[in-house]
Structure 1
């Protein structure tokens, strides 16, 4: 009987990272396709919003509950199922003839992403048990995830300009087929040594609470943060998540053992990832509007000019490795991640201070500096904080730890886009309304061209400059808000990720310290 030799570990990591790249790309690939979607289906503004956000809603709402059973069900099986579901849903989305079909396809893509995302880190955790090798693999994972998510607008812009919005779905079909074929041969199956019962009620409470929370965050800027629907969403989320925590504290076999989250190297690192995602993904949303609306770039040109951000993030993830290696802990101790996490957040904060100095005449160079600085710092944080979470958990809980890591990042990203987008709109609208007294404030996305409509000809040049200044004023406010968030996160990381105290020397039964004992002469 022939036995297949195990695949080299680097190929295993490459396959799961390819799945992560596809997942990250799908989050943002439609951001630059909104005008094409409106004309091609056609679809209303609300429908387009849910086409774009349905993916993030389902992914963010279900990834924690899915990750809870991935360790028992099988990490390779979850990964294969998630990639296959993403590919099939992408095919359906490319063939969609009505907006509701496209919304359903995006939601199923999010469900597939929820299946495969926790499995990626769990497979890496199982494949690379040595701390040093695992840190390198996680750094590659963080770099690839950043390249996918932040490079989505570039890929989407090229596909939209060369083909149509449907190409943003078709691209996943051959990619998913290649990944499935590679995983079938190169990714070994692994699961927890001890299978436990699945906490169905806990999973339902978790999914329901997170879905309600992500929905309220996404809808808040459009319906109003104080609207009845938004407040109801937050209220439902609070009740369901409180019930989830209560159940996890009382059930003998919880879905998410709360003791895992009490370790500072888990909850502090996860919080740092959440706040970093809040700042960076919200800034990417604002930056895309600035490049297209103020600087006048098309979708592809704007996408090309956001490439430095994921490139710098990948470089930062690689540079985190020496910092992690030089602070390698002893057996059973969490990794030494305080310097790369807190230092990376300080670097991100400095990047936002650069962005906050942008004015209507700054042009692209200041955006470039921001992307290089903030992206590098974010790479340090992503690699080190992820290693902190995964290195602090037992192997049997690898997928669950990945799900905690992933759900917090997704929530931070959704909250960052919603909050920074809402803040941008509020400040811009207030500034723009004062340009032409007595006129209604025009919509944000329609007033950044060189010739605002309904303005007398002699005033158009001055009003156009005023509109651009209004936008950069609003972008300054969002940059300062995001920088404040990352500064707070840096302080939290510096205080909460301190290395564990050295164990006290053993005291023998005679009460005298070991150093004062003498050895009897033979």
Structure 2
């Protein structure tokens, strides 16, 4: 019995390591590419439009397929979908690194987005299966989220080092050994989730969901370059609204819908999704805006820019572990609310930052934002795992991560329109963006207090 317990505990730790590896390289890829853009442009001799799509193609595929990926995880088992996603992502990363032109690179980035979308909902479902005990699960989720957040913030620094030493291909090829290790660990140690094979595929719902999320993402991405009132942007939003309405109508009538609308009767799911959207709106938008601010207003190099983000990322893992302990002891509402409060304070502090501000004056607001986000992220994931039934864990995770991804895309689009290198005063745009991030964050704080009447139990209620 003791030997079985030790073996089971070891397998759970390896499963945590495997899912964290998958989430790490996915999050790393979100930001690491930004510092390599100039080298990619020079190396492949491509124009600015193609260069933008090197970044945006990944985001577009990732955001569009998260809901479908969550449903596939529930139907075919989280381990199978996670391994498939990890394999696709690893293969696509190698293809990116070996690309000789814009077409192959952009197509490979789309394939990376497909792999990432398959991995994220299934990784959270795997954690739920590997750590069925609520308090252990809360700690595991905090580690999973902490390593991913650290990777997200470390992206500019890692990218700067790899590009300077080995060239732009290295930021993609480095994913191959990580991917091989993660796939092996998952197959060898991760437990599978219950497969709901009798569930029929909701092809109409999946098609409408992909069109809605793709057109919404495309419109937001293009708004930074074309403007929010351009015909193609407004058309994209209009299509997203129409297909989104059709999606809801189809789901309401389908016997086995892609997205069971009853999920949204669960206050925990709603609050977690809103909180996740606001977290990524501010954090992703800030990363994008501050990267431009450092390089265009302060004239820092890519490596110096990466180093400037270190105060925000250095404490992420510690804060995530603290969040896990707070969640295990007090429930998820406390770290969720406290984290959002700290993040809002950090955003507001950026109003006092200018191009000639000292390193300390810039580091303190970034540090506050980093701690706040790191405290909040594990709690929203833990909340969803604890309050959604086993048959809907994958799709609920897909909903949460879709909300977060949409928040990130909108944040980058809005912040990008406010902080552009051609503006005479980049700092003024940064100040407006920071205030907007604080307002969105504080708005989500209100939903936490109104929507969560209790501290947030970690014992699953089987909802959904």
Pair 1:208-2:216 in alignment: no
TM-score (norm 2): 0.93
Distance, in Å, in 2 between the alignment partners of 1:158 and 1:117 is 27
CA distance in 2, matches of 1:424, 1:355: 14
- Equivalent residues in 2 for 1:289-438 (5 A)? 289-327=292-330, 336-425=331-420
Q: Does 1:188 align with 2:184?
A: no
Matched, 1:228 2:231: yes
Aligned pairs (5 A) from 1:36-47: 36-47=39-50
Q: Which runs of structure 1 show a deviation greater than 6 angstroms over 4 or more consecutive aligned residues?
A: none
2:419 matches 1:478: no
- The answer to whether the 8 A contact 1:160-1:168 is kept is yes
The alpha carbon displacement at 1:151 in A equals 1.6
Distance, in Å, in 2 between the alignment partners of 1:73 and 1:53 is: 29
Distance 1:97 1:16 in 2: 31
What is the rounded CA distance, in whole Å, between the counterparts of 1:121 and 1:77 in structure 2? 13
- Whole-angstrom CA distance in 2 between matches of 1:370 and 1:165: 31
Please state how far the C-alpha of 1:235 moved relative to its aligned partner.
Answer: 0.8
2:450 aligned to which of 468, 484, 495: 495
CA distance in 1, matches of 2:371, 2:57: 30
Aligned 1:42-57 pairs, distance under 5 A? 42-57=45-60
CA contact (8 A) 2:332 2:456 kept: no
Structure 1 contact 354–366 (Cα < 8 Å) conserved: no
- Out of 7, 11, 18, the position equivalent to 1:15 is 18
The whole-number CA distance in structure 2 between the counterparts of 1:155 and 1:501 is: 37
Alignment check: 8 A CA contact 1:313 1:377 kept: no
2:258 pairs with one of 235, 250, 255: 255
1:241-252 to 2 correspondence within 5 Å? 241-252=244-255
Contact 2:129/2:191 (8 A) holds in 1:
no
SS of the residue aligned with 1:58? Answer: helix
TM score, norm. by length of structure 1: 0.83
The 2-side partners of 1:195 and 1:15 are apart by 28
Counterpart in 2 of 1:142? 145
In 2, the alpha carbon distance for the partners of 1:29 and 1:360 equals 24
CA offset at residue 293 of structure 1? 2.3
Which of the numbers 162, 166, 172 marks the counterpart of 2:165?
162
More helix by share: 2
Give the C-alpha shift of residue 315 in structure 1.
2.5
Alignment of 1:9-88 (within 5 A): 9-88=12-91
Q: Which has the higher contact order (CA 8 A, sep 6+)?
A: 2
d(CA) in 1 for partners of 2:207 and 2:119?
Answer: 19
2:461 match: none
Give the distance between the partners of 1:156 and 1:229, measured in 2 at CA.
33
Distance 2:228 2:293 in 1: 24
1:5-34 Cα shifts (integer Å, max 9, x gaps): 655211111111111101111111111111
Residues of 2 paired with 1:412 and 1:199: CA distance? 26
Alpha-carbon distance between aligned partners in 2 of 1:396 and 1:252, rounded to the nearest angstrom: 15
Q: Which residue of 2 aligns with 1:275?
A: 278
CA-atom RMSD in angstroms:
1.8
Is the 8 Å Cα contact of residues 192 and 395 (structure 1) preserved in structure 2?
Answer: no
Moved more, 492-501 or 111-120: 492-501
Distance of 2:198 and 2:23 partners within structure 1: 26
The runs of 5 or more residues in structure 2 that have no matched partner are 458-464
Q: Counterparts of 1:139 and 1:227 in 2: how far apart (Å)?
A: 42
Q: What are the Cα deviations for residues 282-322 of structure 1, in whole angstroms up to 9, with x where unaligned?
A: 11111112222233321112112212222333222222233
The unaligned stretches of length 5 or more in structure 1 are: 328-335, 429-442, 445-466, 503-522
Question: Alpha-carbon deviation of 1:500?
Answer: 8.4
Structure 1 distance, partners of 2:342, 2:116, is: 30
2:104 corresponds to:
101
What secondary structure does 1:29 align onto?
helix
Q: What displacement does 1:129 show?
A: 1.3
My pick for the range that moved more, 302-311 or 120-129, is 302-311
Match of 1:454 in 2: none
The answer to whether the 8 A contact 2:277-2:404 is kept is: yes
Distance change in 2, residues 1:478/1:25 (3 Å): same
